[in-house]
Amino acid sequence: MTMLTAVADLLGLSSNTLLVAVAMAAVGMAAGVVGCFSVLRRRALIGDAAAHATLPGVALAFVITGSRGLPVLLIGAVVSAVASMGLLVLLRRFTRTRDDAATAIVIGVSFGMGVALISGLVARGVPGSGGLERFLLGSTASLSAADARLLVIVSLLSTGLVAAFVKEATVVSFDPGFAAAAGWPVWWIDFALVAMTAVMVVAGLPAAGAVLVTALVVIPPVAARQWTDRVGVMLVLAGAFGLVSAVAGVAASAVVPGLATGPMVVLAAAALFAVSLVCAPSRGLLAMALRPRMPLAPPERGGP
């Protein structure tokens, strides 16, 4: 911790501010890494349902425990995010509602429920309830050093888990049929990936808020995908992009007063994506425009 204080002094920041920035960097990185597999698995918007569903969980955790400590609220958020994922599975299994509509229902209704709960608490003047609104669009202002440490630990654990099971997650993402035929526990790997996405969505709440946090698990992986066709490289790049956008966004909202963190984080990520879209070596728009048009290859002779 002394080193941190020294660095903070060097930068002219309070050590708390620096710790929060480090936490946001870790969260951005882990969200980017975990998000890679939900993008590769074509489930980018599942995270959005989980994100909106965190809101009632946060409010209910506050109502039940009366605590406004971040760990308690985030546990509530994880529970309701995972419950919403379970609800999606149940709706798919037991109703005729199609996936897209089911996702939209979970997004709209759970967000409405969260808003109604939080507004009700605020209208009754419950002390501390006003702070819940920061989960809508994100704000790192009230994070304590302990909160920051918790976020760092969660992020490093998630990143470590992904690193340990890259092979499994890759096989399931690219060819679930093959994975199942080869006897892999596809259901469990899928469940673990979705659950980790939910956890990272929750960890990203202070940075980006419920409405926008899905961008943390979607945009950096998508930007990274532009640069490479290899999963390992994509994971590293997505982590880096997530880290940079989280730090840039938090810094921008610290400079401009009254600006929520979430939009700035998302805009920073979007800027990185735009650069990737244009400049990436083989898939980039620039490279495609400059590449000489290949003449059609003459038909091969003596084929099968």
Partner 1 sequence: MSGLRGVIEFLTASGGMHGWAMATAAVVSAAAAVVGSLLVVRRMSLIGDAISHAVLPGIVVGVLLGGRPGGPLATLGAVAAALLTVWLAELLRGKARLSEDAAAGVVFTTLFAAGVALLSAAASRVDVDPGCVLYGMLELVPFDTVELAWLEVPRAFLGGLLVLAGVLAVLWLSWRQQLATAFDADAAAVVGLPAKAMTTGLLCATAVVTVASFEAVGAVIVVAMLVVPAATAELLVATLPRLILVAVGLAVASACSGYAVAWQAETNAAGMIAVMLGVGYAAAVLIAPDGMLARGTASLRLAWRVVCEDVLAEAWRAEEVGAALPASPRGGLAGMLAAWWLTRRGRLLPGGRLSEQGRGQAEMVVRSHRLWETWLGRHVRLPLDHLHPPAEWIEHYLGAEMRQRLEAEMAHTPAGSVAADPHGSTIPPER
Which residues make up the interface to partner 1 (CB under 8 A)?
A: 39, 42-45, 47-48, 91, 94-98, 100-105, 107-109, 111-120, 123-124, 133, 136-137, 211-212, 214-215, 218-219, 222, 225-226, 256, 258-260, 262-267, 270, 273, 277, 283, 285, 288
Judged by beta carbon, residue 162 or residue 219, the one nearer partner 1 is: 219
- Smallest separation (angstroms) from partner 1 to the CB of 99: 9
The tokens for 75 are 């546990």
**C-beta of 86: minimal distance to partner 1 in Å?**
15
Output the smallest distance, CB 119 to partner 1, in A: 4
CB of 174: closest distance to partner 1 in angstroms? Answer: 13
Shortest approach of partner 1 to residue 160 CB, angstroms? 25
Q: Which tokens in the block code for residue 294?
A: 């290949």
CA dist., res. 93 & res. 211, Å (int): 27
- Rounded to the nearest whole angstrom, what is the least distance from the CB of residue 167 to partner 1 in the complex? 23
Q: Following DSSP, what letter does each residue of 250-285 receive, concatenated?
A: HHHHHHSTT--HHHHHHHHHHHHHHHHHHH-TTTSH
Q: Least distance to partner 1 from the beta carbon of 12, Å?
A: 26
Nearer of residues 32 and 150 to partner 1, judged by Cβ: 32
Nearer to partner 1, 47 or 239 (CB): 47
Name residue 272's amino acid.
Answer: L
**For partner 1, the closer CB: 76 or 114:** 114
Nearer to partner 1, 19 or 172 (CB): 172
Amino acid at 53: A
Among residues 180, 238, 283, which one has the least CA distance to residue 39? 238
Of residues 258 and 295, the one with the C-beta less far from partner 1 = 258
Dist. CA 169–CA 165, nearest whole Å = 6
Which residue, 139 or 158, has its beta carbon nearer to partner 1?
139
